[in-house]
Amino acid sequence: MIELQGVTRVFEVGGRPVNALRGIDLVVPDGEYLSVMGPSGSGKSTLLNLLGCLDRPTSGTYRLDGRDVTDLNDLELSRLRRHKIGFVFQAFHMVPRLTAKGNVELPMTFAGVPPEERSRRAEAALLSVGLAARMDHRPDQLSGGERQRAAIARAVVMGPTLLLADEPTGNLDSVSGGEVVALLEAMNAGGLTLVVVTHDAVLGGRARRQIRMADGAVVEERRAEPRSAPLQAAR
Amino acid sequence: MRAGDLFGFAGAALRGHRLRSTLSLLGVAIGVASVILLTSLGEGARLYVTGEFLALGSNLLIVTPGKNETTGGIVVPLPAPRDLTLDDAEALRRRLRGARHVAPLALGEATAKAGDLTRTVGVGGTTAEFMPLRKIHLRMGRYLPAGEGDRGERVCVIGAKLQDELFLGRNPLGEALRLGDDRFKVIGVMSPRGVSLGTDLDEVVHVPVAQALRMFDLRGLSQVMVELGSHEEIQSGKARAIALLKERHDGFEDVTITTQDAVLGSFNRILALLTAALAGIAAVSLSVAGIGIMNVMIVSVSERTREIGLLKAVGVTAPQVLLAFLVEAALLSSAGGLVGVGVGIGGTHLVQALYPSFPMAPPPWAVPAAVVVSMSVGLVFGALPARRAARLDPVAALARR
């Protein structure tokens, strides 16, 4: 459960304050599928970074699963990200020298999970994204779609409650993009709260709840009936 | 996080840019190897000189006639020193407590002739006690006969080189050697010893002291050597010897007693200083290597900015990032240190094999110090890059192209 109350975020750019977020109030219940759309500079990425505890609001409060996380220190935020939040990025952000499996193991390695358990859980996660056969390949031996699927496995392997995706299909062709969206939606169907930031109207339009941002504020919100048709058919 | 995983992660990162890692590792290796080689050189020189002195005997008193005293200001005229006589030597031998061996020494130079061959030789007149005192070994025959110092047969013991040059290497025992106008019978040949503190023992002829005094028309001895029972007695032995001779010389203290102690001590200090200076020079190259490591780590951090952003996004804490990069730098430099120790010790052995007479010995502290220092080099010079990595803002790091 995400509760934002009067959240603002001000950056200093060239000594001048820039309001990236101006008083966001947002409640996202568990299991929600939310898309955040809007043009570049509308504040949607800043919002995602705040939700993912990579950034702190300038003012306002952020409650995650009932706990006020606004004033947590860096260590506590790290712990929160480790256990509650999974990230999927447009650029995949795979560590190039590690295999797909090594990348999926990475969060567990730094969390102190023993090697055998790590290996077992990474394999299970890769199996669930359909990459069991490719897990010993390095990122440069994988296609973009495969990399993003491995990244999703990495995002969920610690069992988070919140999955944040920033333009997850932005670097993919429509076929692999469709596979990635299907995977993310499957994770959501399994109970994870899914927040997708995109300026792709087709992708954003698939979410049950959609908000549109402009100039750091939510300007439009609508709800759609869940669709069951695959993405490729929608395009 | 488990220690094994931490090292695994850091090691994999180093293998990720193999050439760069190898080159900076090489820098540390060269630094460490030069520390070991140069300190080996200094230490070798120190041990060599110390060994020379110990071979001579660290419990040795050398009594020379005359008072050599350097004082600033006015030179006080002293009565002409008395000669150091055979009786003085005999008195030291009989009455000096703690004296193990006492040998008088009368030195001169003479033309030696054996058959048709002649050359100039140093002649040392002494007694049988000179042999154990200077730890002389014989190649053949025997040394000067024991007995009263004031008489003596015309016999001589020659250096190894003289056997080669005057007798062309053949057995000279029983043959005649003419020294100036006198004929001596060769009764022994000393083993090769080489130059020992300025005297080439291979090129001298030893004769009974009375013969030398007569030949060179000397009124007194050149010196008297006294070996004491142990190194600890050297100061008290010196005082007693001076007192004894003063009494014999009508209350005038007109002899000088030199000990090896003072000389050895200053040599030791000079050479230890030399070793330290060499280590300092080598340490400069080690610090250059440290800057190399810092450079590599800074490049690595900026190259892996996005990776660091990702690590932070998946919940890796800033201290963990710091630790990971510190371990990386320390691994790099201690691997370099180990290679350097290997190269340094190998180099020492190589120099030793090529030039056996060249004294080289790594000081006992060199190897542990090299390992500790190289590891600290990594930690010290890796600290700045690691801090930079740990402090990266994850949002900015992830957005970096």
Q: Quick one: average pLDDT of B52-78?
A: 67
Q: How far is A229 from chain B (nearest CA, A)?
A: 32
Query: What CATH number did the domain enclosing A143 receive?
Result: 3.40.50.300
What CA–CA distance (Å, rounded) separates A199 from A37? 5
CA nearest to A92 within chain B = B310
Please state the φ and ψ torsions of residue A203, each to the nearest 5 degrees.
Answer: -65, -50
Span A10-58, pLDDT tens digits: 999 888 999 999 999 999 999 999 999 999 989 999 999 999 999 999 9
Nearest to A205 by CA among A186, A189, A187, A220: A220
Find tokens 């180990």 and name the residue.
B338
**What's the first-to-final CA gap in chain A, in angstroms?**
32
Does the predicted TM-score (pTM) go above 0.95? no
Name the residue in chain A with its Cα closest to that of B315: A82
The phi, psi pair for A46, rounded to 5°, reads -60, -40
By Cβ distance, the residue of A78, A154, A158 closest to B317 is: A78
Contact B21, B15 (CB under 8 A): yes
Query: What is the pLDDT at residue B351?
Result: 87
Closest partner residue to A110 among B1, B12, B394, by Cβ? B1
The shortest CB-CB distance from B313 to any of A54, A83, A109 is to A54
CA distances from B47 to A127, A185, B54, B266, B287 (A): 69, 78, 10, 13, 28
Residue listed under structure tokens 């504040």: A43
If pLDDT is split at 50, 70 and 90, which confidence band does B253 have? confident
Res. B57: pLDDT tops 80:
no
Yes or no, beta carbons of B395 and A109 under 8 Å apart = no
- Respond yes or no on whether ipTM tops 0.85: yes
Per DSSP, the three-state class of B226 is: strand
Question: pLDDT tens digits, residue range B294-338?
Answer: 988 999 999 999 999 999 999 999 999 999 999 999 999 999 999
User: Does B12 contact chain A (CB < 8 Å)?
Assistant: yes
Structural domain of A169: 30-42+81-234
Contact between A18 and A11 (Cβ < 8 Å): yes
Contacts with B, A 76-105, CB within 8 Å: 78-83, 85, 87, 89, 91, 93, 95-98
Closest CA to A159 of A86, A72, A76, A229: A86
pLDDT at A174: 92
pLDDT at position B361: 79
Nearest by CB to A55, which of B15, B311, B395?
A: B395
Q: Distance (Å, rounded) from C-alpha A176 to C-alpha A182?
A: 10
Where residue B67 falls among pLDDT bands split at 50, 70, 90?
A: confident
What radius of gyration do chain A's Cα atoms show?
Answer: 18
Chain A within 8 Å of B315 (Cβ-Cβ)?
Answer: yes
| Amino acid letter, residue B360 | M
Chain B contact probe: residue of A78, A97, A101, A117 with most B CBs at under 10 A = A78
A230: pLDDT confidence band, cut at 50, 70 and 90?
Answer: low
Give the helix/strand (H/E) hosting B3: helix B3-16
Report the alpha-carbon distance of residue B141 to residue B220 in Å, rounded.
Answer: 30
Report the pLDDT value the prediction gives residue B189, as an integer from 0 to 100.
Answer: 94
State the pLDDT confidence band at B147, using cuts at 50, 70 and 90.
confident
pLDDT, greater one: B116 or B67? B116
Q: Which residues on chain A are in Cβ contact (under 8 Å) with B313?
A: 52, 54, 81, 87, 93
Evaluate whether residue A177 is within a structural domain: yes
Residues 6 or more apart whose Cβ sits within 8 Å of residue A210 = A34, A35, A37, A204, A221, A222, A223, A224
Residue A67 is assigned to a structural domain of this protein: no
Shortest Cα distance from A82 to chain B (angstroms)? 4
Does residue A121 form part of some domain?
Answer: yes
Out of B15, B306, B316, the one facing A110 most closely (by C-beta) is B316
- Give the gap in angstroms from C-alpha A233 to the nearest C-alpha of chain B: 33
Asked if the structure places residue A142 within a domain, the reply is: yes
Q: What average pLDDT does this structure show over B355-361? A: 77
Domain total of chain A: 1
Q: How sure is the predictor about B198, in pLDDT bands with cuts at 50, 70 and 90?
A: low
* pLDDT for A69 beyond 90: yes
Mean pLDDT of the region B173-188: 93
The pLDDT mean for chain B works out to 86
Report pLDDT digits (tens) over B26-51: 988 998 898 888 888 888 888 887 77
Instruction: Compute φ and ψ for B138, nearest 5 degrees.
Output: -105, 140
Is residue A129 within 8 Å of residue A100, measured between CB atoms? no
What is the pLDDT averaged over residues B344-367? 84
